[in-house]
């Protein structure tokens, strides 16, 4: 099946329909307005996977909904789980044949779902496998939400946290990302606390300002990875358009507008950002902004972007620990199953090609 020539489903997912839109549909169909609330409860409280199973609705309404909508559009293409830490990675096939990834990460009492916002990504960060795909299309709100519902069903528990750190750049699919996050945090919907959802960006500055001005209640993270413009341009081409100083101004605007901390993600790359001097610059940054920084060794297969040695990582850790409590060194999760963005997709594509040859 060629995704570019696939037949997109005629039916829209009910997960794509906001509560306000659902209320309007019920009004247009001359149904009581409370039906919209019943449908939402069936989707996000009762976790129905088929419209036929929403027995709080009349059969005639279920039939009408079923004629126009569906509830599940993702099918599992592949799954792999770490024997070391239980990290699980899912490769989903979308209704049009494209594929996306999601990851579940366990850490103490935390269960974090890492979800995708686009099929591929246009930003071409050099250490990220997803960037090699380019952008194929944006995900709909329903496709974003369904990743959460499917993973919860498969592992048998709700997430404590959701991070938009999977495939894609969330700020370049802003409206769908925010609609999905609103649904996932709606007290009458999925009901997760807004502070338990983190929107991560590689540094799309207009999106950061919009996020701040709209006073979004979700947490914000920026993939920083270097505080040196020359280095950042090499590993993250977006820095050519949005240089460090402008990015930090946007981050400062957000913290002042929201009164909240911002999180910087810092992926350690041996040849680019893991020296003692890099650590010194990173520490300096934490004193200039209301921020916390998560540092993690790179989880990439490309030799050019390998993580630093254990010894070099230890020196980096010691240097920052002596000078800042806002910086946390995190362990890599799912290293042996290649749980970083795009890696399961890439492996799946390689296997398909090898079978054909």
Q: Which of 22, 52, 70 is the last residue of a domain?
A: 70
Which of 143-152, 330-339, 348-357 shows the lowest per-residue confidence on average (mean pLDDT)? Answer: 348-357
Please tell me the predicted confidence (pLDDT) of residue 325.
Answer: 66
Please tell me the predicted confidence (pLDDT) of residue 331.
Answer: 65
- Domain co-membership, 113 together with 10: no
Domain count, the chain: 2
DSSP β-bridge partners for residue 92:
76, 100
Q: How confident is the model at residue 239 (pLDDT cuts 50, 70, 90)?
A: very high
- Domain co-membership, 83 together with 57: no
Mean pLDDT of the chain: 89
Q: Tell me: the pLDDT tens digits for 268-285?
A: 998 899 888 998 888 887
Q: Tell me: the pLDDT tens digits for 123-157?
A: 999 888 888 889 999 999 999 999 999 999 999 99
Q: How confident is the model at residue 174 (pLDDT cuts 50, 70, 90)?
A: very high
- Domain co-membership, 24 together with 133: no
Please tell me the predicted confidence (pLDDT) of residue 96.
Answer: 95
Please tell me the predicted confidence (pLDDT) of residue 13.
Answer: 96
- Domain co-membership, 177 together with 60: no
Q: Tell me: the pLDDT tens digits for 292-321?
A: 888 888 877 677 888 888 888 888 888 877
Of these residues, 121, 128, 298, 341, which one is catalytic?
341
Task: Give how far Cα 237 sits from Cα of 126, 183, 205, Å.
Answer: 8, 33, 14
Please tell me the predicted confidence (pLDDT) of residue 6.
Answer: 44
Q: Which of 70, 98, 124 is the last residue of a domain?
A: 70
Q: Indicate if 322 belongs to the active site.
A: no
- Domain co-membership, 348 together with 278: yes
Q: Of 245, 258, 263, give the one whose Cα is nearest residue 217.
A: 258
- Domain co-membership, 229 together with 289: yes
Percent of the chain at pLDDT exceeding 90: 68
> Looking at residues 211-215, what average pLDDT do you find?
98
Please tell me the predicted confidence (pLDDT) of residue 176.
Answer: 98
Please determine, for residue 248, whether its predicted confidence score (pLDDT) is greater than 70: yes
CATH of the domain at 48: 1.10.150.530
> 3-class secondary structure for the chain?
CCHHHCCCCCCEEHHHCCHHHHHHHHHHCCCCCHHHHHHHHHHHCCCCCCHHHCCCCCHHHHHHHHHHEECCCCEEEEEEECCCCCCEEEEEECCCCCEEEEEEEEECCEEEEECCCEEECCCCCCCCHHHHHCEEEECCHHHHHHHHHHHHHHHCCCCCEEEECCCCCHHHHHHHHHHHHHHHHCCCCCCCCHHHEEEEECCCHHHHHHHHHCCCCCEEEEECCCCCHHHHHHHCHHHHCCCHHHHHHHHHHHHHHHCCCEEEEEEECCCCCCCHHHHHHHHHHHHHCCEEEEEEECCCCCHHHCCCCHHHHHHHHHHHHCCCCCEEECCCCCHHHCCCCCHHHHHHHHHHHHHHC
- What is the reported pTM? 0.89
- Domain co-membership, 64 together with 95: no
Query: What are the φ/ψ torsions at residue 163 (nearest 5 degrees)?
Result: -125, 130
- Domain co-membership, 222 together with 96: yes
CATH of the domain at 322: 3.20.20.70
Please tell me the predicted confidence (pLDDT) of residue 335.
Answer: 56
Please determine, for residue 336, whether its predicted confidence score (pLDDT) is greater than 70: no
Most confident of 125-139, 248-262, 316-330: 248-262
> Looking at residues 222-239, what average pLDDT do you find?
93
Q: Which of 70, 92, 114 is the last residue of a domain?
A: 70
Q: Tell me: the pLDDT tens digits for 2-46?
A: 554 444 456 899 999 999 999 999 999 999 999 999 999 999 999
- Domain co-membership, 66 together with 79: no
Please determine, for residue 74, whether its predicted confidence score (pLDDT) is greater than 50: yes
Please determine, for residue 63, whether its predicted confidence score (pLDDT) is greater than 90: yes
72 CB neighbour count, 10 Å cutoff: 15
**What is the chain's Cα-based Rg?**
21
- Domain co-membership, 146 together with 277: yes
Of these residues, 31, 101, 143, 182, which one is catalytic?
101
Please tell me the predicted confidence (pLDDT) of residue 264.
Answer: 92
- Residue pair 56/38 in contact (Cβ under 8 Å)? The answer is yes
Percent of the chain at pLDDT exceeding 70: 88
Please tell me the predicted confidence (pLDDT) of residue 1.
Answer: 43
CB environment 312-337: b (16+ within 10 A), e (fewer) = bbeebbebbeebbebbbbeebbbbeb
Q: Indicate if 121 belongs to the active site.
A: no
Output 85 or 341, whichever has higher pLDDT: 85
- Domain co-membership, 254 together with 154: yes
130 lies in which domain range? Answer: 75-356
DSSP β-bridge partners for residue 274:
none
- Domain co-membership, 137 together with 48: no
Q: How confident is the model at residue 332 (pLDDT cuts 50, 70, 90)?
A: low
């Amino acid at each position: 099946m060629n995704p570019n020539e696939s037949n997109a489903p005629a039916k829209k997912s009910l997960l794509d329909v906001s509560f306000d839109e659902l209320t309007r549909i019920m009004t247009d169909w001359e149904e009581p307005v409370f039906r919209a609330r019943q449908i939402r409860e069936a989707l996000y409280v009762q976790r129905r996977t088929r419209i036929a199973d929403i027995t709080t609705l009349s059969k005639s309404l279920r039939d009408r909904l079923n004629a126009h909508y569906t509830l599940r559009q993702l099918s599992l293409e592949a799954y792999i789980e770490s024997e070391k830490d239980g990290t699980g990675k899912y490769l989903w096939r979308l209704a049009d044949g494209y594929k996306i990834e999601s990851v579940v990460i366990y850490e103490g009492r935390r269960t974090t779902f890492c979800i995708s916002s686009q099929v591929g990504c246009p930003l071409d960060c050099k250490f990220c496998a997803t960037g090699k795909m380019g952008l194929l299309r944006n995900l709909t709100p329903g496709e974003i939400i369904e990743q959460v519902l499917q993973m919860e069903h498969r592992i048998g528990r709700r997430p404590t946290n959701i991070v938009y750190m999977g495939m894609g750049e969330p700020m370049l699919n802003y409206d769908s990302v925010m609609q999905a996050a609103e649904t996932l945090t709606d007290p009458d919907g999925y009901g997760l606390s807004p502070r338990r959802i983190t929107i991560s960006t590689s540094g799309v500055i207009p999106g950061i300002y919009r996020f701040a001005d709209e006073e979004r209640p979700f947490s914000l993270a920026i993939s920083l990875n270097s505080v040196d413009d020359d280095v950042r341009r090499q590993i993250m081409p977006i820095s050519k358009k949005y240089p460090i100083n402008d990015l930090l101004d946007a981050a400062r605007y957000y913290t002042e507008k929201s009164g909240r901390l911002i999180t910087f993600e810092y992926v350690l790359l041996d040849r680019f950002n893991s020296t003692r001097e890099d650590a010194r610059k990173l520490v300096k940054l934490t004193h200039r902004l209301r921020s916390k920084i998560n540092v993690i060794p790179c989880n990439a297969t490309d030799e050019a972007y390998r993580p630093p040695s254990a010894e070099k990582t230890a020196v980096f850790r010691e240097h920052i620990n002596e000078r800042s409590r806002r910086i946390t060194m995190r362990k890599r999760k799912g290293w042996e199953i290649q749980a970083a963005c795009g890696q399961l997709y890439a492996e799946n594509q390689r296997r398909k090609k090898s079978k054909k040859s």
